[in-house]
Chain A
Amino acid sequence: MSNHSSSFRSSNLSRRDWLRVATGTAVAPWLAPLASAVAASPERKRSCILLWMNGGPSTIDLWDVKAGHEHGGPTKTIATRTPGLELSEHLPQLARWSDHLAVIRSLTTKEGDHGRASHLLRSGYAPQGAIQFPALGALVARDRTEVVRDLPDYVSIAPPRGTEFNLAGGFLGPGFNPLVLGQEPAPTVDQALQIANLRPHAPLESAETSARLDVLSRRNRRFAASRPGAVAASGLSAVDGAVRLMKESSAEAFDLTQELEGTRDAYGRSLFGQGVLLARRLIERDVPFVEVTLDGWDTHANNFAQVAELAAVFDRAWSALMQDLQDRGRLDSTLVVWMGEFGRTPRINAQTGRDHWPQGFSTVLAGGGIRGGQAFGATSPDGTTVIDRPVNVPDVLATICTALGIDCRTSHLSNVNRPIWVVDQSAAVIEEVLG
């Protein structure tokens, strides 16, 4: 507070100016373009719904079933709409959408710890010292800053507690942190997904309230300008974001009671199911990135019963989402990504469980920009090694970015004063899964 006079003079910094100053976006001109034809035109930009399977989903029991092998356990396969593509018996409804799914069966990483692996899958980088890597959602939000929306650009539904740092805006700044919903335990799903305290004490439109908000915003802007850093910047961006969210039209987006009962049933009445429905409502209002977490995949014991239960939850919600997107003409403009931090050991342990297995597992891309009806890559018959077309996490993220119309050749200035690529330079877009 020792510079109130001087900070008054520099108070004309707009939010967007501040973001530019804070993140120092730069494009590297010396890099050769990637082989893929990246369409950077705004009309090609898509929204993304990430279905995050927290704990490490047993993809060997879902997408890459080894029926008949001892590593396969009791899990059976079923045919899908796509000739030759078989999926787990636990995914009967998604089997009917197989022509929109690209199943990548050859993802491989070295990270077998939940924290490190989640960091890698969600940001595209393994943890490195003090660098605060932004999550995928933050990178997408960062790409869409040309329009200021009332709704947040990045919404995270039902993330487990303690994962905040893996979701955050990192060096992009706190303005790119997600709006987090459904994290607190609540008596009902609807209550869990509600935004608490959304209604202002006095009407937002009144002259009194808007004068107060104006003075508050000015004070926060001056404070952030005089004290560089994430703490003061977050005070500014959180108030601005909160005020836009308090508008009637924003609040309405979160009101699930506006949906038909039949629609709500179709997604399943679970937190995840209703979360996916909420994600659909948000992307219909042009929110660029929504993620919904399904937790409980750390199946070290009693794997098969738990997998069947969890699979039923997402099979139902995801297929309802596909139907709605198609009916509403949003399928081509929405990319759906299904992934978790790693797969699970092909060998079944003594507790009928499976342990952590990053060496070879599956992830699935669907919808907008994706050539569906295929499995890409393969693991060995015993599931232990990738035998065809191994891909790593940066490859997948580069593919996701390309499908979303984001230029991977962009870099952002990091908190260690070194530019960091949106996706690591070693990445190769998986052209075969792009539509």
Chain B
Amino acid sequence: MPSLAPAAALPLPARFWVCLLVVLLGRPLAARGEGPPGPIGTAPEPMTVQIDSHFERLWGDLKIRPEPLSDDAEFLRRLSLDLIGRIPTSAEVREFLAAPAATRRGVLIERLVASPAHSLHRANIWRRILLPQASAAEYAALALPFEAWLQKEFAQGTPYDRLITQLLTATHSDRETSSAAMSFLAVGERKPENLAASSSRLLLGVNLDCAQCHDHPFARWSNRQFWEFAAFFVAPESATETATQIPTALTIRIPQTDQVVAARWLSDEPVVLPSTLQRDTGRHVLAAWITSRDNPYFARNAVNRTWASLLGRGLVEPLDDLSAASRSEHAPLLDDLARSFAETGFDLSRLTRAIVTSQVYQLSSAAIVTRDLGSGDTHFARMAVRGLSGEQLYASLRTAAGFPFERADPVDRGGARERQRVVAAFATDQPANAQRSILQTLELMNGPLGREWTSSPTVTAIASSPFLNRDGQLKGVCLATLGRAPGDEELTELRMLVPDRGSLSPEHLGGVFWVLVNSTEFSTNH
């Protein structure tokens, strides 16, 4: 039975792997290493050490036993979905399992984080964070250009603080950032109150929305503070009627009152403005304050959202409001990671690498030793099951069927409409709470996508392979869809769907393919 320690005996599915690998690769499965392997040849990343020691301490204090580490196939599938937005191909599964056991996870992490596909997927993640409005029809046209811009910046290794500075200070005349970065200002309709609300929430994890109309009931934000913050988004030229008057302050009137307030941070530090103000001066000084290493919110928000994108929920929830962060059991870790993130130059790749290398990211999602924790707060003692985003689902279906899966750039013409339809139909807000609806299920079972399986490259290749017997064919479909070989009992069950003898036709294999891609195992990241 599975036991607690990462260095435990072989987990159950290893039996399947032994059989499969002996057949396919002619080499036995090496015993798994001691704990999650880090990148080869380097000292452990300090942020990974911070994560691992936090959870070791926390689980010890709470007397919680975490689940054992996921097996290699589950890890490969999870990491692929999280970093490159799709499941692995059969070939990638075989190659990964054939690599030296002691270093294969570390090598894979290095390779995927550095891949162009990761820049593209990360652009999608951060587009949904920074421009959530583009998920709705009204602003949908902004989504792909914005992702293209993010992808370019990520591929160039632009640090996160510089990226956000571009976002806040974008102007029409700036060709470099193009109109894409302007989208952030555009969806806020350039209104100070909208931009104050969105930038505080999305960039700082500070929710001022309620304070727009009244003093915030729970946190310490007042109505006055909201408008003081909003004043940074005022364009002073338009605020003054005559050109003779040179603006020297950023001010805004609180609606339905006679109060005029001046721009102020969400802290007590003094605001120092240049003696003459340009239209975008407020945004520039605000960007400098927001992205400063000393800003207590900026790095924490980025770390918390990155964490949530990889583990299903943030270290602190809700993501939009870190005001209760200090009460969280994970507050010390969030502070440590935020400090390291800022000190190492706001490098999102490094942060991502550190998180996926940690033990907590690599835990199994099956509830065996953590069953009594139920489905509520499990203190990250097992990996959350997360629904796939529409983008992940579409790319994964294509991958499983053997179609080309990698888009050259986000603004992809071919198949764009079909992809867009799937993306919209399977849009998810919170992956760890993404509940599959009956209508989505019908779409996947009976919709146009489902007609393609029988004639797909994957099914055609398996059906026509002279080297595969019936079981070999069934295993091939499992490998292509689930990224793993079936267990003995599973195989017995799948045999019930096909004739007893002879090689299987595309129709039969298409039916098995249909069952597997419609299963919850396929449509979740676990």
A contact residues vs B (CB 8 Å cutoff): 1-8, 130, 152, 161-162, 168, 174, 177, 179-180, 195-201, 208, 211-212, 215-216, 218-220, 223-224, 226-232, 234-236, 238-239, 241-242, 245-246, 415-417
Contacts and interface: CB of A to CB of B under 8 A. Distances in A.
Nearest to B73: A1
Interface centre among B384, B435, B518 (most CB of A within 10 A): B435
B280 to A, nearest CB: 32
B456 to A, nearest CB: 14
Given A235-B523, A238-B437, A239-B445, 4 more contacts: A174-B435, A197-B439, A226-B366, A238-B436
Nearest to A11: B489
B208 to A, nearest CB: 15
Contacts of B518: 216, 239
Interface SS of A by simple majority: helix
A234 B433 CA distance: 10
Contacts of A241: 438, 441
A229 B438 contact: no
Interface stretch (B90-98, B116-124, B464-472, B492-500): B492-500
B440 interface: yes
A198 to B, nearest CB: 6
B499 to A, nearest CB: 11
Interface in B444-502: 445-447, 450-451, 482, 484, 487, 489-490, 493-494, 496-497
A191 B369 CA distance: 49
Contacts of A7: 366
B13 A220 contact: no
Nearest to A116: B210
B6 interface: no
B98 to A, nearest CB: 19
B314 interface: no
B511 A195 contact: no
B226 to A, nearest CB: 15
A152 B441 CA distance: 14
10 contacts: A4-B489, A6-B12, A152-B438, A195-B439, A197-B446, A197-B447, A200-B446, A201-B450, A223-B519, A232-B385
A229 B441 contact: no
Given A196-B447, A227-B367, A179 B442 contact: no
Contacts of A201: 446, 450-451
Given A4-B13, A215-B496, A231 B385 contact: yes
For the complex of A and B, the 5 pairs showing the least CB-CB separation, nearest first, are: A235-B520, A234-B435, A229-B375, A174-B435, A197-B446
Interface in B49-79: 68, 70-71, 73-74
B401 to A, nearest CB: 15
A1 B76 CA distance: 12
A229 B366 contact: no
A168 B70 CA distance: 32
Interface in B322-365: 364-365
Given A2-B68, A235-B520, A415-B375, A227 B385 contact: yes
A226 B12 CA distance: 14
A2 B438 contact: no
B192 interface: no
A227 B437 CA distance: 18
B514 interface: yes
Contacts of B153: none
Contacts of B436: 174, 231, 234-235, 238
Contact of B441 (A208, A231, A242, A415): A242
Contact of B521 (A6, A219, A234): A219
B154 to A, nearest CB: 28
Contact of A223 (B445, B497, B521): B521
B526 interface: yes
Interface residues of B, number: 61
A33 B215 CA distance: 41
Contact of A212 (B384, B439, B490, B511): B511
Nearest to A220: B520
Given A1-B74, A196-B443, A218-B493, A242 B12 contact: no
Contacts of B496: 211, 215
B376 A242 contact: no
Contact of B365 (A200, A227, A245, A415): A227
A239 B13 contact: no
B251 to A, nearest CB: 25
Contacts of A168: 435
B438 A242 contact: yes
Given A174-B436, A200-B445, A220-B520, A2 B12 contact: yes
Contact of B442 (A6, A198, A417): A198
B515 interface: yes
Given A195-B442, A219-B515, A220-B519, A8 B70 contact: no
B494 A215 contact: yes
Given A1-B73, A1-B366, A215-B497, A196 B520 contact: no
Interface centre among B70, B440, B494 (most CB of A within 10 A): B440
Contacts of B494: 215
B11 interface: yes
Contacts of B80: none
Contacts of B443: 196-197
B486 to A, nearest CB: 8
Interface centre among A196, A199, A228 (most CB of B within 10 A): A228
B489 A5 contact: yes
B218 to A, nearest CB: 10
A417 B377 CA distance: 10
B497 A212 contact: yes
B136 interface: yes
B2 A197 contact: no
B435 A177 contact: yes
A228 B374 contact: yes
B489 A2 contact: no
B371 A228 contact: yes
A2 B74 contact: yes
A201 B489 CA distance: 28
B219 interface: no
A219 B437 contact: no
A238 B73 contact: no
Contact of B2 (A2, A8, A219): A2
B17 to A, nearest CB: 11
B368 interface: yes
B524 interface: yes
Interface centre among A1, A200, A208 (most CB of B within 10 A): A1
Contacts of A177: 435, 437
Nearest to B514: A212
A419 to B, nearest CB: 14
A208 to B, nearest CB: 7
A369 B111 CA distance: 66
Nearest to B71: A2
Nearest to B213: A113
B515 A232 contact: no
Contacts of B441: 238-239, 241-242
B442 A227 contact: no
A241 B490 CA distance: 24
B446 A199 contact: yes
A236 B520 contact: yes
B435 A3 contact: no
A228 B446 CA distance: 27
Contact of A231 (B364, B366, B368, B432): B432
B446 A416 contact: no
Contact of A5 (B434, B487, B515, B523): B487
B374 A230 contact: no
B524 A235 contact: yes
A88 to B, nearest CB: 30
B406 interface: no
Contacts of B317: 130
B375 A197 contact: no
Contacts of A416: 376
B434 A238 contact: no
Contacts of A196: 439, 442-443, 447
B86 interface: no
